Amino acid sequence: MLSTTPRTTLGRAKNRGRSSREDLYAVLDAGLVCHLGVVVGGAPMVVPTGYGRVDDTLYLHGSTGATSLRAGGEVCVTVTHLDGLVLARSSFNHSMNYRCAMVYGTPRLVKDPEERLTALRAITEQLAPGQWDAARRPTAKELAATAVLALPLSEASVKIRQGPPEDEEEDYALPIWAGVLPLHQVWGTPETDPAMTADLPVPDHVVSRTIPVR
């Protein structure tokens, strides 16, 4: 079960909340980019950031010079999937179908070499499954330039909306079209780097991403 704290307790649309840890994992594992919210110099900053999950730890990475990763203190991380536009009979009841996770906590800087590699593998595989084994490993210089944060998934909430519009009872008889406009994200055709020095086929793990899952 997910934690229940003042920050993770929903104030509105409580019926959209999810309490299982599996729902949290599903939302996080389906994403590509999270938004990292930090406070820098007394002002909020929200930065799109690459991430990966290993069990109950969310790993974030970036340059060692990144202000967002050097801010310290508590952070808020969100991952959101927009699944469709909900077009109602009234403008007031328009909505969106979505899946969203929000995680609060104080991240720690990962210093252990083995954990750093585990984290970077998770982040790489989050974006492109199979790519970690296909690419060369980071050099010592590259590792020195990379900061990795570990954020425990101990305080998190999940909110999901699915289904058709929820109109006022008296509006259902209006001659106005209402429904859902689904949104699907698909990969395009892989584009080979023109600087390639060898005539190599696109790897299977990359090609597989372009095939719709049925």
pTM attached to this predicted model: 0.91
CA distance 114 to 97: 40
Q: What is the pLDDT of residue 211?
A: 65
The model's pLDDT over 104-130, given as tens digits with 9 standing for 90+, comes to: 999 999 999 999 999 999 999 999 999
Q: What is the mean pLDDT of the chain?
A: 94
What separation in angstroms does the CA of 201 have from each of 130, 195, 196, 198?
Answer: 15, 14, 11, 9
Please check whether the domain covering 14-179 is classified as CATH 3.40.718.10. no
The model's pLDDT over 125-154, given as tens digits with 9 standing for 90+, comes to: 999 999 999 999 999 999 999 999 999 999
Determine contact, residues 74/129, Cβ cutoff 8 Å.
no
Q: What is the pLDDT of residue 205?
A: 93
Instruction: Give the closest residue to 50 by CA, choosing from 65, 67, 69.
Output: 69
Q: What is the mean pLDDT of residues 182-194?
A: 93
- φ, ψ of residue 206 to 5 degrees: the values are -85, -45
Determine contact, residues 158/18, Cβ cutoff 8 Å.
yes
The answer, yes or no, to whether residue 214 has pLDDT greater than 60, is no
User: Could you tell me the residue ranges of all domains in the chain?
Assistant: 14-179
Give me Rg for the CA atoms of the chain: 21
